[in-house]
Amino acid sequence: MKIDVLTLFPEIFPGPLGSSIIGRAIEAKKIEVNPIDLRNYAHDRHKTVDDKPYGGGPGMLMKADVLFEALTDLKKDDTLVILTTPRGEVFNQKQAERLSLEKHILFVCGHYEGVDQRFIDKFVDLELSIGDYVMTNGNLPAMVMIDALARLIPGVLGKDESSSDESFSNGLLEYPQYTRPYEIDGMRVPDVLISGNHAEIARWRLNQSKELTKSRRPDLYSKLDKNI
């Protein structure tokens, strides 16, 4: 997969994406992450990419003409354009799964008070947010989404099944996990996990996931298929 990131701060990348699992995937060319400086598409002496909003109001907006030129150059027939913005739909695991199937994603990192709406109307396929809060720009949200979707691409994780048995993969939070030592500070591993009965272990894990989801994320639990 090819991922382009149109940003005012290309020097931030790869940042955390250059480490651990995603970093190794980039080195192995399983994914490609390319930061692109938006100022390359501004042609005045000061490389201006923002201006005051029509109608007044605080802050500055990213200019449509600069963004139009950038997208005309970068967007191909198979490109999915995502704008990172607080007003976007909140990103979740289902979206990560869908995005992991794309061939080319172009993230446009919002900044200032936002972008000219005409750019959104013409070029943007998805407006996404990572939560109900405001950040200084869209670079970190883009990194979060890239990390979440890239780990779902076949071959990125050591074992592809690792991503199929974790929080949100089936609408539930992940069950508690344990490893050696068997006992520490008087606390033991639940007996069912050392029983060797795989059916009982699976049942215990599912029940634990349901209880955790019900207590911590009732919003998710209310949407759960009760036949699970």
Written out in words, the top-level CATH class of the domain with range 2-150 is alpha beta
Q: What are the helix (H) ranges across 28-100?
A: 64-74, 93-99
Provide the residue ranges of all domains of the chain, joining segments of one domain with +. Answer: 2-150, 165-222
183-184 and 187-188 strand pairing? antiparallel
* Per-residue confidence (pLDDT) for residue 225, from 0 to 100: 75
* Per-residue confidence (pLDDT) for residue 64, from 0 to 100: 96
* Per-residue confidence (pLDDT) for residue 169, from 0 to 100: 63
Q: Cβ contacts of residue 197 below 8 Å, gap of 6+?
A: none
Identify the burial level of 137 via C-beta atoms within 10 angstroms of its C-beta, where 0-12 means exposed, 13-18 middle and 19 or more buried. Answer: middle
Residues of the chain with pLDDT under 70: 159-169, 226-228
pTM beyond 0.85, yes or no: yes
* Per-residue confidence (pLDDT) for residue 224, from 0 to 100: 86
Residue 141, preceding bond cis, omega within 30 degrees? Answer: no
Taking a C-beta distance cutoff of 8 angstroms, is the pair 174, 209 a contact?
A: yes
Q: Please state which CATH number belongs to domain 165-222.
A: 1.10.1270.20
* Per-residue confidence (pLDDT) for residue 90, from 0 to 100: 96
Residues above pLDDT 90, as percent of the chain: 88
